[in-house]
Structure 1
Amino acid sequence: MSGLSRINTSQAARWWRSIDRVTLICVGILIGFGYILMLAASPAVAVRIGASRDMFIFKQVCFLLLAAGIVIATSLLSLRGVRIAAWVGFVLALGATFLTLVHGIEIKGARRWIALPMMSVQPSEFLKPCFAVVTAWLLTVRKERRYFPGLLVAFGLFGVVLLLLKSQPDIGMLSVITTVFLTQLFIDGLSLFLVGAGAASMVAAFIGAYMVFPHVRSRVERFLHPAVGDHYQIDTALRAFGNGGLLGRGPGEGRVKDLLPDAHADFVFAVAGEEFGMLICLFIIGVFAVMVIRTLLKLLRENDPFIAVATAGLMTGFGLQAFVNMGSTLHLIPTKGMTLPFISYGGSSAMSVALTIGMVLALTRSRLGEGRFGQFGQAPSSNRKVPS
């Protein structure tokens, strides 16, 4: 890296010195696993549905290349740029999510996707990162502007998101966004009593979803009562982990990809377990843990409340998505159709997760910089103000 030494004042060199390189390397590792597991899992799925054997591979190569570009491009943004991008993205994603209720594709009783050439888009995926940054700005700027109703506006926007996601319905996405919102409220100074009240409201909402939505009731009952209902997918996934053992059966030797319709997407972790073994699965878990825990620990030394609240919300959503995917595959929680970040097949997921990590890198860039100039030649200040 001699070209990026301290004496090099180019934009690329300053970006490299100021970026969180560990998180960036972790992203590269996950994208690498995404390519490897797509090569392992997707051909069998494509053949089974009568498509070209390499269809999913070619599309995912494009998705992940675009995701890598989004991570780099977004990480170059200033704090103000991150906020503006989040507001624009939130408004667009909110409008597109509403559009799914009118012109969306209905799959398994839910309208969450909009058909585009070569792919379908799930707009609610982009609500997660944009909502986290928008909420962080609303919660923190109200302390700078005495009469600004930031908390009220944040709850209003959350109510709109709740109504739209409930109408699709997408209970899993709604649960993630609600958890992110409660986390941000707690970090912003909300009392433990009110946080507990919010958690109790989530439990009540889950009970309501169990009573109202048949697919939610079915998943919960199958999780709680193994003898009830169809357990084909989860039983097949668990057998795949058992067949893989410690070191796996070897690349291309797995059988789960021939049996599960979503082996390349929701159950890609089972493919990793069967073909590459428990050690690789633990390594993947470790990569996610390093990204989340390391970033959250660094926020303990952050002086800017906007950065702390926004980054905590972004990483909470990222970590929770990874946990839900791996946890449901291992039958630790009821099954939920949520992708494994950067690894599962899906364009909307790959790009929204890339936007999430790009924003995290942009928000934390200045305080992780080396030397006097932490952020593209700007001297960092210990008394940074909330961006207005």
Structure 2
Amino acid sequence: MKELINNLKGDKGIWSFVMLLALISFMPVFSASTNLVYVIGKGSTIGYLVKHLVHIFIGFALIYFVHKVPYHYYRALSKIAMPIVALLLLFTFMQGTVIGGANASRWIKVPFIGVTFQTSALAMIVLMVYVARYLAKIEDKPFTFKSSFFELWIPVFIILALILPANFSTAALMFAMVCMLVFVGKYPMRYLAMIIGIGVTGLTLFVLFAIAFPKAMPNRVDTWMSRIERFTTDVPNEDDYQIEKAKIAIATGQVYGLGPGKSVQKNFLPQSSSDFIFAIIVEEYGLVGGLAVLLLYLMLFFRFLVSAHKTNSLFGKLLIVGLGFPIIFQALINMGVAVELLPVTGQTLPLISSGGSSIWMTCIAIGIIISVTKKEEEVAQELAEKEERDAALKQIIDEHILREKQEEEAQATDVEEPSYSIKDKGKNPMSAVMGK
């Protein structure tokens, strides 16, 4: 175990906060799983706990192996992975999986394993690395809006267009994060303003098309449109039930909560172990527990900022910003939905909510970030060792110069000192010299 810990390279703060969030997740997931067991009648609480443990274990294995790969390798991998991800998204969109009568075309089932996988989570990572690669490539190089539009923005819009009909919240989050990343990468503001205008226009046309031809679009479009309508008006909606139960859970928790496993609303709140797990945390651990979870995410965000500041290469900085910031914003969105600051989005609480693909993709993103910090630590260590070697060499050279100087002074003293014969012993040295 000690040897394994010693092999963990990179920013120790990021490692610590990620591990703490993963450890915190077990009790809420175990408690909230009773909704699936006793209300829906599916599985057992121990089974869900073990399943979550396996997901976390695989996630940390992914962090370990990903952080061992030098981060500059992901520059080339992103270019190769973009068309593969686009094909996966197209397949996911076209296969039209239906779960419980509702469209779930953001999920695909992995053959032979039977595990469902959300392809948009993988697309998020690949897209952010791709954008970081492009921005690092054009650093200090002249380029035009036309060249950047075809090389950068068309691939971005293709990915977003394949995600948008089935998962509006993820597409919106991805577009916002890409805009934030290109802003950090010093992409010209006038170009970015034009891209935002194109994006808003495209979204407007898509909504008008969905309204004009409702049968041409999957019913997920109706779902996210109704969520926005419910949030902006008082029209009754099925999301009201989820929000009301979440607010009751948060209000019941008060300051110190009801205690671990004593949540009542977990038996009535759908998605209590995933989308609305923050409400269960507040109900069981109170305002103190909710603020503690929020503080952990903010401290992780601070470590991302520190790591990005320490990184010397632009590609490394953009990787940390592009992969780290979405994790924090996703957590804030999840919490905002639970307290009705935002409309229902379906975003999970990273590293805490149950669900395999969500945990695994978050862990891959963290692994890449730690790979960047590991490289910077190695560079800093090499620099420190070089300075130590230079200091030792300088000391050796100084000692050698001092020794030579001492020898030269000793030789000069020997030449100037008068010599006496044996017969002059006992006489006045001056008289011996003068021949007296």
> TM (normalized to structure 1)?
0.85
Asked if residue 286 in structure 1 is aligned to residue 282 in structure 2, the reply is no
C-alpha separation in 1, matches of 2:315 and 2:335: 30
Question: Which residue number corresponds to residue 50 of structure 1?
Answer: 41
Question: Which residue number corresponds to residue 407 of structure 2?
Answer: none
One-letter code aligned to 2:126 = C
Change (3 A) 1:209 1:256: farther
What RMSD over aligned residues (CA atoms) do the two structures have, in Å?
2.9
Asked if residue 220 in structure 1 is aligned to residue 228 in structure 2, the reply is yes
| 1:229 counterpart SS class | coil
Structure 1 residues 339-354: aligned runs within 5 Å: 339-354=348-363
Question: Which residue number corresponds to residue 31 of structure 2?
Answer: 40
- How far has the Cα of 1:370 moved from its partner? 8.7
- How far has the Cα of 1:287 moved from its partner? 1.1
- How far has the Cα of 1:40 moved from its partner? 1.0
Question: Which residue number corresponds to residue 120 of structure 1?
Answer: 116
Question: Which segment is superposed worse, 215-224 or 120-129?
Answer: 215-224
One-letter code aligned to 2:15 = L
> Contact 2:336/2:342 (CA < 8 Å) preserved in 1?
yes
> Contact 2:107/2:117 (CA < 8 Å) preserved in 1?
yes
Change (3 A) 1:42 1:84: farther
Q: Where in structure 1 are there 5+ consecutive unaligned residues?
A: 5-10, 380-388
| 1:94 counterpart SS class | helix
Asked if residue 236 in structure 1 is aligned to residue 232 in structure 2, the reply is no
One-letter code aligned to 1:115 = K
1:322-347 CA deviation, whole Å, 9 max, x = no partner? 12111111111111111110111111
Question: Which residue number corresponds to residue 179 of structure 1?
Answer: 176
Change (3 A) 1:34 1:378: farther
> Contact 2:274/2:353 (CA < 8 Å) preserved in 1?
yes
Structure 1 residues 284-363: aligned runs within 5 Å: 284-363=293-372
C-alpha separation in 2, matches of 1:84 and 1:192: 27
Match of 2:105 among 106, 111, 132: 111
Greater Cα radius of gyration, structure 1 or 2: 2
One-letter code aligned to 1:253 = K
Question: Which segment is superposed worse, 123-132 or 104-113?
Answer: 104-113
C-alpha separation in 2, matches of 1:80 and 1:366: 10
| 1:79 counterpart SS class | coil
- How far has the Cα of 1:131 moved from its partner? 1.2
Question: Which segment is superposed worse, 336-345 or 142-151?
Answer: 142-151
| 2:33 counterpart SS class | helix
> TM (normalized to structure 2)?
0.76
- The structure, 1 or 2, with the larger RCO (C-alpha pairs under 8 Å, 6+ apart) is 1
Change (3 A) 1:205 1:270: farther
> Contact 1:184/1:310 (CA < 8 Å) preserved in 2?
no
Question: Which segment is superposed worse, 241-250 or 288-297?
Answer: 288-297
C-alpha separation in 2, matches of 1:127 and 1:251: 36
Question: Which residue number corresponds to residue 29 of structure 1?
Answer: 20
- How far has the Cα of 1:72 moved from its partner? 1.4
C-alpha separation in 2, matches of 1:314 and 1:306: 12
Change (3 A) 1:80 1:192: closer
Asked if residue 141 in structure 1 is aligned to residue 132 in structure 2, the reply is no
One-letter code aligned to 2:108 = I
Asked if residue 155 in structure 1 is aligned to residue 142 in structure 2, the reply is no
1:86-141 CA deviation, whole Å, 9 max, x = no partner? 44554443322211123342342341111233421111111111211122112212
One-letter code aligned to 2:89 = T
- How far has the Cα of 1:217 moved from its partner? 2.6
Change (3 A) 1:279 1:12: closer
> Contact 1:325/1:338 (CA < 8 Å) preserved in 2?
yes
> Contact 1:138/1:151 (CA < 8 Å) preserved in 2?
no
Q: Percent identity?
A: 21
Question: Which residue number corresponds to residue 125 of structure 2?
Answer: 129
Question: Which segment is superposed worse, 205-214 or 47-56?
Answer: 205-214
> Contact 1:139/1:150 (CA < 8 Å) preserved in 2?
no
Match of 1:273 among 270, 276, 282: 282
| 1:111 counterpart SS class | coil
Q: How many residues align?
A: 368
Match of 1:372 among 368, 375, 381: 381
> Contact 2:35/2:272 (CA < 8 Å) preserved in 1?
no
Question: Which segment is superposed worse, 191-200 or 218-227?
Answer: 191-200
Question: Which segment is superposed worse, 317-326 or 87-96?
Answer: 87-96
> Contact 1:240/1:274 (CA < 8 Å) preserved in 2?
yes
Change (3 A) 1:199 1:259: same
One-letter code aligned to 1:139 = L
C-alpha separation in 1, matches of 2:68 and 2:316: 15
1:363-382 CA deviation, whole Å, 9 max, x = no partner? 2222245962389x999xxx
C-alpha separation in 1, matches of 2:250 and 2:371: 37
- How far has the Cα of 1:57 moved from its partner? 2.2
